[in-house]
Amino acid sequence: MLDERMEGRTKPVDSITDPNYNSEARTMLGTEQLEWFTQQLEKSSSTWKIVGNQVIFQISI
């Protein structure tokens, strides 16, 4: 289970017209949680990896 509400999340933008809307610097997880998460996925030998969280978003690893 991931928590995108507390750790490392950047301030949400107010609207899609905000200049920072598409900024690659924005993050939902923060560096430490993202590193931990990707390490867990990469070292897992499971065929299926199911992640629970509150917000739909894509992570490229």
pTM above 0.75, yes or no: no
Each residue's pLDDT tens digit, 1-45: 777 766 667 788 899 999 988 888 888 888 888 898 889 999 999
Sequential DSSP letters for 12-26: PPSSTTSTTTT-TT-
Q: How many domains does the chain have?
A: 1
Query: Residues near 27 by Cβ (< 8 Å), separated by ≥ 6?
Result: 8, 9, 10, 34
Domain encompassing residue 34: 1-61
